[in-house]
Amino acid sequence: MAASLDDETEDSGRLPAPLRSVTPGTGSRRNEEMDVFGWGVFLGLLVLLMPLLPFIVIVWGISKVTDMLTPSP
């Protein structure tokens, strides 16, 4: 809380300068741990969705046929 009304009017509303980090910055490098995790998620989704692929193709084919049969305005 400001001590007087003058202290409140002198506040410009600007943020203080950011603090510098104590830890050193890291350079650009490959992150093998996240790379392995990403490939694992991709392969897991591929294994889960592969059995659904025939149904997806059937639904896509039916939608294409119905689009060709219905007249466009």
> Sign of torsion, CA 40 41 46 47?
positive
What's the CA gap between 70 and 73, in Å, rounded?
Answer: 9
Question: Taking all residues of the chain, what is their mean pLDDT, rounded to a whole number?
Answer: 81
* Tens-place pLDDT, residues 33-58: 899 999 999 999 999 989 999 999 99
% pLDDT > 90, the chain? 42
Q: What's the rounded mean pLDDT across residues 48-73?
A: 90
